[in-house]
């Protein structure tokens, strides 16, 4: 496990003896913040409609390290990017994602609720997002309610493999879910791709729980309300990284910087980017 460890070790040693290391040491604040991955939650969701091309493009423009996307499946078996299991909140339609065909989903307006300037933004497909952004920005892929979509793990794995995104050199692809069994399956299907688990359950921050999670996951991604120094240290001691969500204030971002997490998942990428200091 810990697929990123071997890759990262070589980079760390090369930096340690590099002339650049001294330069970084002279700017501790900026250097520290650059080590935290800036993950644009559902795109730059504070400024643009979530899980749309407009939101993801803005996140890239804001120099996010990753975009975070939510993947579900249409009635006719196509992978689509939307957070809720219904379309009611973020589109002009109604109904469950899994009860609507791709054509029906694509006909919906997923932008107007955020502002008239986003009218007509469609629900993207998973393959559309992968083709548009891989190689340009990291992609944190959340399998949303995978228990509703039997076989979705295999489908996601196939889509990634077709694009050669199942290889370790493409480490800026990460999979995550609240469904731990789904992530165990993804670890088996794509053993070289990092996986993470999402939780807001404080009971899962114990040494025993984290040790078990570390047998298949490289990331432990809790809500920031349960993050403490002890939790961060224990996650790191188990060889995992920690990314916390969802930051919607500068105070929350600063708290997570102080906790020394590895990634901050935020609706507002400018709260995390050191270039905005």
Please give the positions annotated as active site: 41, 83
Phi-psi region of 165 (alpha: psi -120 to 50; beta: other; left: phi over 0): alpha
- CA distances (Å), origin 49, targets 113, 116, 123, 262: 8, 11, 10, 26
Structure tokens that stand for 135 in this block: 């190689």
35 near 108, Cβ under 8 Å?
A: no
Distance CA(277)–CA(254), nearest Å, equals 12
Which secondary-structure segment (H or E) carries 175?
strand 173-177
Which tokens in the block code for residue 183? 């992530």
Cα-Cα end-to-end distance for the chain: 36
Rounded distance between C-alpha atoms, residue 268 and residue 50, angstroms: 12
β-pair partners for 67: 40, 139
Tally Cβ neighbours within 10 Å of residue 33: 18
């Amino acid at each position: 496990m810990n697929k990123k460890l071997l890759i990262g070790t070589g980079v760390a040693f090369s930096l340690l003896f590099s002339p650049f290391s001294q330069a970084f040491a002279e700017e501790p604040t900026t250097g520290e913040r650059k080590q935290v991955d800036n993950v644009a939650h559902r795109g730059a969701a504070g400024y643009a409609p979530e899980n749309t091309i407009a939101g993801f493009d803005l996140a890239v423009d804001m120099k996010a390290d990753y975009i975070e996307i939510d993947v579900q499946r249409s009635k006719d078996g196509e992978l689509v990017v939307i957070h809720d299991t219904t379309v009611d909140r973020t589109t002009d339609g109604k109904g469950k994602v899994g009860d609507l065909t791709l054509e029906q989903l694509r006909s919906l307006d997923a932008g107007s609720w955020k502002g008239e300037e986003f009218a007509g933004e469609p629900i993207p497909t998973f393959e559309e997002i992968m083709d548009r952004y891989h190689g340009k920005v990291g992609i944190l892929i959340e399998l949303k309610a995978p228990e509703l979509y039997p076989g979705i793990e295999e489908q996601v794995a196939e889509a990634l493999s077709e694009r050669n995104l199942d290889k370790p050199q493409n480490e800026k692809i990460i999979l995550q879910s609240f469904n731990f069994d789904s992530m165990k399956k993804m670890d088996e299907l794509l053993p070289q791709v990092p996986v993470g688990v999402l939780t807001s359950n404080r009971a899962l921050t114990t040494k025993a729980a984290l040790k078990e999670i570390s047998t298949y996951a490289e990331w432990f991604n809790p809500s920031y309300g349960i993050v403490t120094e002890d939790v961060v240290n224990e996650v790191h001691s188990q060889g995992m990284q920690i990314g916390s969500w969802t930051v919607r204030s500068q105070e929350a971002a600063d708290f997570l910087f102080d906790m020394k997490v590895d990634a901050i998942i935020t609706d507002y990428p400018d709260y995390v980017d050191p270039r905005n200091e």
